[in-house]
Amino acid sequence: MDPLVLGIESTCDETGVALVRGRDLLGESVASSMDEHARFGGIVPEVASRAHLEEMLPTLDAALASAGVSLADVDAIAVASGPGLVGSLTVGVAAAKALAVALGRPLYGVNHVVGHIAVDELIHGPFPDRFLALVVSGGHSSLLMVEDIAASVVELGQTLDDAAGEAFDKVGRLLGLPYPGGPHVDRLARGGNPEAIAFPRGLSTPKDLVRHPYDFSFSGLKTAVARYVEACEDGGRDVPREDVAASFAAAVADVLMTKTIRACRELGIQTLVIGGGFSANSQLRELAASRCAEEGIDVRIPPIRYCTDNGAMIAALGSAALRAGLPRSDLGFGVDSALPLDRAVA
């Protein structure tokens, strides 16, 4: 029987705990402090850290009850050790270390970003021997070559400024939408014309593609939206919010998929996995499905509930580390807010 892995996620504002055996999710629980940050218009690290302290034990108890197991049944523990907010990470890692010592179980500090891809195995089954992964979230936009989710991950490209989700939140503020802006911009975009405004596609000129073939940039796009909104307001015109949202979202999805499809084509890869909070975006999902179908690429995207931060993604990566025979993490490992993506396990 495969080992039972307890996964703990606390990188930002979600406290997540899950139990995974092999590639089967047995139970989970997630607590979010999002409502506490909304009035500030963004994540407040101290507020997030305190929320993790308050929610860690109740979330752990709820996950165990959901799985129908006890702590004594757990064979190994995995915890997100980075990237993320230092204070939030520290709460989760401290809890995981305490459990590992008390239970006498091996502990694996794992990479939060890689976890966003690992969770797909719980939904769609084992990965192929070689695939491409696109991780898009509030803090990360990365293109990864994966030959083993736990032991061989290479970053091909990344965002050079704003991540896709971060750009959505900023545009949401420009349009007067509540925090977090991403879901609200997505909903607004559904009522607009994605071709109404010709917003720029970052790092997409021939010169840029030579220097940054697989990198992303959304800062210039965000600035273009700001200037468009300002011009409307200065001219006494109503801002066509639906069209702005739709045209902006189309520009982001276009850049992400154009570069990703190019990488698949150039590297001869037939499977693409997309994960991270922004992978819940409807335009990205629709464009990924259509362009991958045109290219004969199998695209895998987890259900929306597993796109945002959760304990299942951490437990899934911990389970993969066990299957790969990786050594446990030393108990002295620390948190790393800038943990490199080629290190799936600390």
Beta strands in 38-194 (DSSP E): 76-82, 107-111, 131-136, 141-148, 152-158
Q: What is the pTM of this model?
A: 0.96
Q: Is the CB of residue 133 less than 8 Å from the CB of residue 273? A: yes
Average pLDDT over residues 43-64: 96
pLDDT in tens, 236-269: 999 999 999 999 999 999 999 999 999 999 999 9
Quote the Cα angle for 316-319-321, to 5°. 115
Average pLDDT over residues 126-143: 95
pLDDT in tens, 84-111: 999 999 999 999 999 999 999 999 999 9
Domains observed in the chain: 4-119+310-323 (3.30.420.40), 129-304 (3.30.420.40)
Q: Is the CB of residue 314 less than 8 Å from the CB of residue 113? A: no
pLDDT in tens, 36-51: 988 888 889 999 999 9
